[in-house]
Structure 1
Amino acid sequence: MLPEIPSPNDPHVRHLRAMFLAVVTGSFLFLIPWIAYLSVSLPNHRTVGNWRCAWVGFDAALIVAIGITALCAWRRLQIFIPWAVATATLLCCDAWFDIVLDWNSGDLTSAIVTAAVAELPLAALLLYAARKMIRLTLIVALRRAGHNGPVPPLSRLSLVMLTEHGEQGVHEEEGERDRAVGGGPRSEHGPDRRAP
């Protein structure tokens, strides 16, 4: 049995959305002055402890993320998408910190080569694959729901929206909801919800 789609007018759904938006927006606004403060207060040089632990721990997390991403890809699991994005993010962070922290050392060349040849290309491949899988999933879901028109590009597609009628909709490029995901075959029980 499929779970019921919550109403967008449900007070609990509206409260959770408002809380989420407040936390994310507040975090964004807080980080602007925080970065300005750090840029003038942090020292250029600092001796730190646990350097080895920090890097071994980070690389261990990266290995776990790459392993889970590979496993999800081999098993063709939908959860591959968020794991690929998370792994790509870790790879970009690894490249950034390797280059910045080795800037005035003899290891800078190897950090740049590693980033250019391994970390950043793998990150780009994972992001490309994740994007393609999101797009393919969207196309399959729309086709199963009876949507035969062109599928808008991901950059112009809004989140799946819940309308007042409980249907899922997509915004076209003009920003209008003129095609509904749930607009396919219907029964007396409402829209066809076979799409994933």
Structure 2
Amino acid sequence: MSRTTQDPAQTVPCEDVSRPVRPALAGRAGRDALLERRRRHTLELLAVSALGLIPWTVILGVTLPSDYRVHAWRTTWVGFDILLLTALGATAVLGIRRHRAVVLPALATAVLLVCDAWFDVSLALGTSAVWTSTALALFVELPMAAFLFHRVRLLLRSQWTPRPSPDTAPDVVETGARS
């Protein structure tokens, strides 16, 4: 709501002092600048995180024991499989409903399948179970993960295909007789 100044000769609208003043962005250019700044900050965070992970990985490689007895082995694997089951189920339900949010659980499922293959094979090294783990990884888990990654890529591409906006759409040519 705006009000006018006290002098009746002047009818210049004044800002309503009861509303908080918020800096406004200048249309599309302002939004683009904000999005670019957010993008840059996200990339900086990811780069710093990746660089910080390098020394941590080296420390783990040097200090972790090569053999370790685990006390909650069953809980760990059953919990992981419940997480994988939940991701698979959410992907199926959202896929059946044709909901665009299916990309999130599908991507999570693909990542979990890759992790499952990695842990199954790497933890079975040096045992007779390594062959079964490797076969499951090569013929079940990794192909399913690759299929889901591919489907997610296709879904994202179809969802984010630029569409012409109404103000940039080509003019419609009238059809009919010309004089």
Q: Distance in 2 between matches of 1:117 and 1:19?
A: 40
Which residue is equivalent to 1:178?
none
Q: Distance in 1 between matches of 2:37 and 2:122?
A: 42
* Of 97, 104, 107, the match for 1:85: 107
Q: Distance in 2 between matches of 1:62 and 1:182?
A: 45
Which residue is equivalent to 2:66?
44
Is 1:7 aligned to 2:28, yes or no? no
Alignment of 1:145-184 (within 5 A): 145=164, 183-184=168-169
| Secondary structure in structure 1 of the residue aligned to 2:99 | coil
- Structure 1 residue ranges, 4+ long, deviating more than 6 angstroms after superposition: none
Alignment of 1:73-112 (within 5 A): 73-112=95-134
Q: Distance in 2 between matches of 1:182 and 1:92?
A: 45
> For the pair shown, which has the larger CA radius of gyration, 1 or 2?
2
Is 1:20 aligned to 2:5, yes or no? no
- The TM-score with structure 2 as length reference comes to 0.71
* Of 92, 101, 110, the match for 1:70: 92
Number of equivalenced pairs: 144
Identity %: 35
Q: Distance in 2 between matches of 1:96 and 1:33?
A: 22
* Of 86, 91, 114, the match for 2:136: 114
Q: CA deviation at 1:105?
A: 1.1
Return the structure number with greater relative CO, CA threshold 8 A, min gap 6.
Answer: 1
| Secondary structure in structure 2 of the residue aligned to 1:46 | coil
User: Deviations for 1:8-46, whole angstroms, at most 9, x for unmatched residues?
Assistant: 445xx6775565344322211100111111111111001
**Structure holding more helix per residue:** 2
Amino acid at match of 1:112: T
- Structure 1 gap segments, 5+ residues each: 147-180, 187-196
Amino acid at match of 1:42: L
Amino acid at match of 1:7: R
Q: CA deviation at 1:61?
A: 0.1
User: Aligned-residue CA RMSD in angstroms?
Assistant: 2.5
| Secondary structure in structure 1 of the residue aligned to 2:100 | coil
| Secondary structure in structure 2 of the residue aligned to 1:184 | coil
Residues 50, 113 of structure 1: CA spacing in aligned structure 2 closer, same or farther, 3 A cutoff? same
Q: Distance in 1 between matches of 2:118 and 2:63?
A: 21
Q: Distance in 2 between matches of 1:102 and 1:53?
A: 18
- Structure 2 gap segments, 5+ residues each: 1-26, 172-179
> Which stretch shows the higher mean deviation, 44-53 or 13-22?
13-22
| Secondary structure in structure 1 of the residue aligned to 2:65 | coil
Residues 18, 129 of structure 1: CA spacing in aligned structure 2 closer, same or farther, 3 A cutoff? closer
